Amino acid sequence: MTTISPLRPGSRGHEPRDDGSDRPWWRMLATGPETADARAARLRLRKRLIVWSLPFVVVLALVATKLLTMVAFGDEALRSYTAGNLTGTEDAAKRLGFLNLIEAHKAPFARGDARVLAGDYDGARAAFEESLVLAPQDSRDACQIRVNLSLSLEKLGQAAQNAGHADQAKQYFDRVQQVVNEAPPSCFEGDAQDQEGQQLRDAQQRAQDQNQQQQNQQNQQNQQQDQPSEDKQQQLDEKTQENLQQRQQGDEQHGAVTKPPVDKPW
C-alpha cells in the first residue's frame, strides 16, 4: 500500500546536528556542518535584511491600503453624485484628495461633479481643467473628464448668450470644440466609441450650431443697421414733404409769382 512519505526527522524539516545548526538538511548535505562563526554571520545578515526590507513592506502596505480606500471613496462619490447628494460628493472629493499620489486626477474630478450639483459651472470648469491635466491622456478617465468639461463650458456659453454677451459665449463654445479636437483617438474607439466618444461629438456639434446661430443673428442685426426701417423711411418722407410746403409758403409771402412762358419774336 502506498503511503505519503513523512518529513525527515525534525519539527520543520530540519536535520538535527551535533553542532546545533538550524539549517535545512539539504543545505547541510551540500556544504557540510556549519561553524559557529558562519552561523552567527548568517543570522546577522538575516536580521539586516529584515530591517532593511521593513520600510518597503510598510510602504507597500500603505499603498495597498490607499488603493483600497480610493476605490471605496470613488464609489461613494459616484453614488452621491447620482443621488444628487452635494454634501456627500464634496466629502468624497476631500477624502480622495488626501495623500493621493497615484490617481491624483480623481479628487478634482469629484470636486467638479460637486460644483455641477451646486450649479457652479465655472467652478466645475476649473476643477475639470485641473483633473484633465493630472489624468493620463490616453486613459478612459481622461475621456470622461473631457465630456464633463465640455458640458460645463456649454452651460457657461449658454448663460453668456442669454445675458447678451455674444463674444464671451463664442469663447466658451470655441473652447468646447478645442477640448473635443484635442481628445486622443482612444476616446472614439472600442468601448468608449458609443459612450464618451459619442458624447464628445454631440457636444462639439451643439457648440458649432450655437456659433452658427449667433453668427446669423449678428448678420441680421448688421443688415438692419445698414438699411433704414419702414418707420424711419416714412419719417424721412414726411420731413421732406414738410420742408417742401414750408418753402412754397415762404415764396408766396415774398410775392414770388411764376410767370407763364412767352414765345420769342424770333
pLDDT tens sequence across 215-260: 888 777 777 665 555 566 666 667 667 766 666 666 555 554 444 4
Count Cβ neighbours within 10 Å for each residue of 219-240 and write b for 16 or more, e otherwise: eeeeeeeeeeeeeeeeeeeeee
**Same domain? 79 vs 131:** yes
Residue 146 lies in a domain: yes
What is the predicted pLDDT for the residue at 154? 96
Residue 212 lies in a domain: yes
Categorize the per-residue pLDDT at 214 as very low, low, confident or very high, splitting at 50, 70 and 90.
Answer: confident
145, 131 contact by CB (below 8 A): yes
Residue 103 lies in a domain: yes
Which residue did the predictor score with more confidence, 214 or 33? 214
Residue 185 lies in a domain: yes
What is the predicted pLDDT for the residue at 216? 84
pLDDT digits 0-9 by tens, 25-71: 555 555 556 677 777 787 777 777 777 777 766 666 555 555 555 55
Distance between CA 264 and CA 266 in Å, rounded? Answer: 6
Residue 116: partners with Cβ closer than 8 Å, 6 or more residues away: 124, 148, 152
DSSP SS3 for 19? coil
Residue 208: partners with Cβ closer than 8 Å, 6 or more residues away: 173, 177
24 strand-pairing partners: 14
**Same domain? 96 vs 149:** no
pLDDT digits 0-9 by tens, 69-117: 555 556 666 677 777 778 878 777 777 766 566 778 888 999 999 999 9
What is the predicted pLDDT for the residue at 5? 43
**Same domain? 144 vs 164:** yes
Distance between CA 237 and CA 191 in Å, rounded? Answer: 69
Distance between CA 157 and CA 207 in Å, rounded? Answer: 9
Helix boundaries (H) for 15-100: 25-31, 36-82, 86-97
Q: Is the full-model pTM beyond 0.85?
A: no
Categorize the per-residue pLDDT at 198 as very low, low, confident or very high, splitting at 50, 70 and 90.
Answer: very high
Cell, residue 204:
462639439
Count structural domains, the chain.
Answer: 2
> What's the half-sphere exposure (Cβ side, CA atoms, 13 Å) at 241?
6
Categorize the per-residue pLDDT at 2 as very low, low, confident or very high, splitting at 50, 70 and 90.
Answer: very low
What is the predicted pLDDT for the residue at 15? 47
CA-wise closest residue to 98 among 129, 72, 136: 72
**Same domain? 172 vs 105:** no
Instruction: Give the CATH number, domain containing residue 75.
Output: 1.25.40
**Same domain? 169 vs 206:** yes
Which residue did the predictor score with more confidence, 171 or 233? 171
**Same domain? 211 vs 147:** yes
**Same domain? 131 vs 142:** no
**Same domain? 73 vs 89:** yes
**Same domain? 97 vs 163:** no
Residue 96 lies in a domain: yes
**Same domain? 87 vs 71:** yes
Residue 73: partners with Cβ closer than 8 Å, 6 or more residues away: 92, 95, 96
> What's the half-sphere exposure (Cβ side, CA atoms, 13 Å) at 97?
15
Residue 34 lies in a domain: no
Among candidate residues 198, 218, 238, the one where a domain is terminated: 218
What is the predicted pLDDT for the residue at 238? 72
Among candidate residues 118, 135, 152, the one where a domain is terminated: 135
Phi, then psi, of 10 in degrees rounded to 5: 125, 150
**Same domain? 111 vs 171:** no
Among candidate residues 115, 135, 155, the one where a domain is terminated: 135
Q: How far is CA 2 from the centre of its chain?
A: 67
Range(s) of the domain holding residue 162? 137-218
**Same domain? 62 vs 119:** yes
pLDDT digits 0-9 by tens, 139-169: 999 999 999 999 999 999 999 999 989 999 9
What is the predicted pLDDT for the residue at 11? 44
Mean pLDDT of 161-178: 93
Residue 231 lies in a domain: no
Q: Other C-beta atoms within 10 Å of 213: how many?
A: 11
Distance between CA 184 and CA 140 in Å, rounded? Answer: 10
Residue 189 lies in a domain: yes
